[in-house]
Amino acid sequence: METHFKRLTAKHASCGSNPNTKAIQDKVWAEIRDRVNAVGNRTRTIDQIKQRWTNMV
């Protein structure tokens, strides 16, 4: 998650001036989802992973 943290919280993510912000974030969350599902016993959605991340921080 640390490797993706900067891409999720970078300036482009907070100001919204970059038209590719949503695409960048979606790609990062998809990568995280794929890695989580590769090691877990159940399949999780991006929304479930985001909620768990929010609960941890």
Range(s) of the domain holding residue 43:
2-56
Q: Which two tokens stand for residue 19?
A: 């038209």
Amino acid symbol at 34: D
User: So what's the pLDDT on residue 51?
Assistant: 92
* pLDDT tens-digit map of 1-57: 556 766 666 665 555 566 677 788 889 899 999 999 999 889 999 999 989 988 887
DSSP H or E stretch at residue 16: none
Domains in the chain: how many in total?
1
User: So what's the pLDDT on residue 38?
Assistant: 96
